[in-house]
């Protein structure tokens, strides 16, 4: 652990994922930030009466346990704590401020059929025009529709809090909604910077539960409750970019006015940062999302399948006794023929196959595409295909927004994938800057540093991250330009009908599987 004597300040980033949570310590020495993991835990769902819920009390206990452990390590150097989490889920509080029930998990089946019921009340185009949010069956809007139709809690509720705001309330007793997570609900209006009460009224939601007010990134929202202060010590609680992707994008080490990024992992989020939302007909047709980012920027992005295909292929090979590490796969792929096999990584065929390599082979056979004959060919096919899909998304972004970035920042676990990073540079023709890997915790920390006065704004925070973490640079290989352009023309010019299906249909199928798989 870091020696406390050289730590000027420590900022605790509570980073909650759908499968696990952790407390990270961001050590700031006046010039750079260094991260250390304090605690980590699994967040398993609980099943009650056939429905899946989050055990909020158990998660909160882990949060306070992690803070207590950090206090024992860093003592009085701890400045504040901030919480980020996944999107769309929420808690409902009664008049006494108690949870009416354990919060539902977004992947619970209660949202089945809710999109159609909402569209019968509010036209789909109207929802997009007002919110700019992509249509995903588990969005909070459809969860609230399910509450209205099947539950009684919403009639008894007095307050609505998104998950990170719920845990901040449990720490401080203060009720608020932070904008980045609020924007994921599909009933937040980024143009008016307010809940869209017209949509809520049309679906029959009680508007009074949405009157807590909004917190801005970098706001000090309170201090620990008296009982917790005695146990954990005195510290401020800060509203960070509480949507975990918003925190990750906040950590983009770029000084561009419209940084381009890929939050890369099993699933990837390629996009650009805009100054204002864009809910045009073209954005609606392509189902892009306009989620609020730090300092009221807009994350204009898409969901794209990432390393899911490789992970599931490795699982299948391991079951066959042919487990292979990534370095071996990369070496084999490097010796394989370029552009031999190109697939659509978002095809429904790859959503829930029993055997991923077999599913890819069947997909190729049905379309007269060369079938990969070994692990190296398959690995290369997946990586090249993902890179081409990134190129398609960024080309579409340029067409819709007019923003033409010359570089892409790749963050998250996928930033360590040098093979894919190089292919991404080659496919897009843009320089790829890979890193930081721990982007969410860093983005969380810099918004706390804004509250403490150590930085003045997001741009300065990004400069600090750039000084603390050196990204790896991947430049486009000009010698390969022709082969990548030819592949793009073949598969994304509209000439191949199998790769022309709309993203929305694919995304819905993929995300339904994600819900089933996580159960």
Which burial class, exposed, middle or buried, applies to 152 when counting CB atoms under 10 A from its CB (0-12, 13-18, 19+)? Answer: exposed
Q: Are 45 and 53 in contact (CB under 8 A)?
A: yes
CB 496 within 8 A of CB 279: no
- Residue 35 exposure: Cα atoms within 13 Å on the Cβ side: 22
Q: Does the annotation mark 165 as catalytic?
A: no
- What SS3 class is residue 96? coil
Residue 406 to residue 389: CA distance in whole angstroms? 18
How far apart are alpha carbons 156 and 100 in whole angstroms? Answer: 8
Size of the chain, expressed as the number of residues it contains: 519
Q: CB under 8 Å to 350, separation ≥6 — which residues?
A: 305, 308, 309, 312, 343, 356, 359, 360, 363
CA 129/CA 211 separation, integer angstroms: 23
CA distance 499 to 363: 12
SS3 223: strand
Nearest of 260, 273, 321 to residue 299 by alpha carbon? 273
Q: How far is CA 418 from CA 22, 339, 426, in A?
A: 26, 18, 12
Helical pair 124-131 and 114-121, crossing angle rounded to 10 deg: 90
Q: What are phi and psi of 183, to 5 degrees?
A: -65, -20
Evaluate whether 23 touches 454 at the Cβ level (below 8 Å).
no
Say how far apart CA 111 and CA 20 lie, in whole Å.
23
State the catalytic residue, choosing from 84, 244, 349, 454: 244
Query: Which residues are known to be catalytic?
Result: 244
């Amino acid at each position: 652990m870091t020696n406390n004597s050289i730590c000027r300040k420590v900022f605790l980033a509570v980073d909650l994922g759908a499968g696990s949570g952790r407390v990270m310590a961001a050590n700031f020495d006046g010039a750079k930030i260094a991260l250390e993991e304090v605690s980590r835990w699994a967040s398993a769902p609980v099943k009650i009466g056939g429905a899946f819920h989050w055990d909020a009390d158990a998660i909160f206990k882990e949060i306070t346990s992690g803070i207590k452990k950090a206090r024992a390590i860093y003592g009085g150097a701890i400045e504040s704590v901030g919480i980020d989490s996944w999107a769309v889920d929420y808690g409902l509080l009664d008049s006494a401020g108690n949870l009416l029930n354990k919060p539902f998990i977004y992947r619970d089946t209660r949202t089945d059929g809710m999109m159609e019921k909402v569209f019968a009340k509010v036209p789909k185009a109207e929802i997009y025009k007002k919110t700019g949010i992509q249509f995903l069956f588990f969005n909070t809007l459809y969860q609230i529709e399910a509450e209205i139709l099947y539950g009684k809690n919403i009639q008894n509720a007095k307050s609505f809090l998104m998950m990170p705001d719920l845990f901040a309330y449990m720490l401080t007793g203060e009720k608020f909604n932070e904008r980045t997570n609020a924007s994921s609900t599909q009933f937040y209006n980024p143009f008016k910077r307010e809940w869209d009460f017209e949509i809520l009224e049309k679906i029959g939601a009680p508007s009074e539960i949405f009157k807590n007010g909004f917190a801005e990134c970098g706001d000090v929202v309170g201090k620990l409750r008296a009982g917790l202060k005695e146990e954990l010590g005195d510290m401020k609680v800060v509203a960070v970019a509480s949507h975990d992707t918003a925190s990750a994008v906040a950590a983009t080490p770029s000084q561009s006015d419209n940084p381009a990024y890929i939050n890369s992992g099993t699933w990837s989020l390629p996009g650009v940062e805009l100054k204002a939302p864009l809910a045009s007909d073209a954005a609606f047709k392509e189902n892009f999302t306009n989620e609020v980012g730090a300092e009221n920027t807009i994350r204009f992005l898409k969901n794209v399948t990432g390393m899911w295909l490789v992970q599931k292929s490795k699982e299948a090979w391991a079951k066959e006794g042919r487990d292979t590490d990534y370095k071996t796969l990369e070496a084999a792929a490097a010796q394989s023929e370029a552009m031999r096999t190109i697939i659509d990584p978002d095809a429904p065929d790859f959503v829930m196959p029993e055997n991923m390599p077999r599913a890819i082979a069947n997909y190729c056979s049905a379309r007269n595409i060369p079938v990969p004959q070994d692990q190296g060919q398959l690995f290369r096919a997946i990586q090249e295909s993902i890179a081409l899909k990134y190129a398609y998304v960024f080309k579409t972004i340029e067409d819709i927004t007019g923003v033409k970035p010359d570089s892409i920042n790749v963050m998250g676990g996928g930033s360590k994938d040098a093979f894919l990073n190089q292919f991404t540079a080659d496919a897009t023709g843009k320089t790829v800057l890979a890193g930081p890997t721990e982007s969410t915790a860093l983005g969380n920390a810099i918004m706390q540093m804004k509250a403490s006065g150590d930085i003045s704004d997001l741009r300065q925070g990004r400069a600090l991250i750039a000084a603390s973490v050196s990204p790896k640079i991947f430049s486009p290989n000009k010698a390969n330009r022709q082969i990548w352009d030819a592949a793009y023309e073949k598969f994304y010019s509209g000439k191949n009908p199998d790769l022309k299906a709309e993203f929305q249909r694919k995304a819905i199928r993929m995300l339904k599987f994600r819900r089933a798989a996580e159960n």
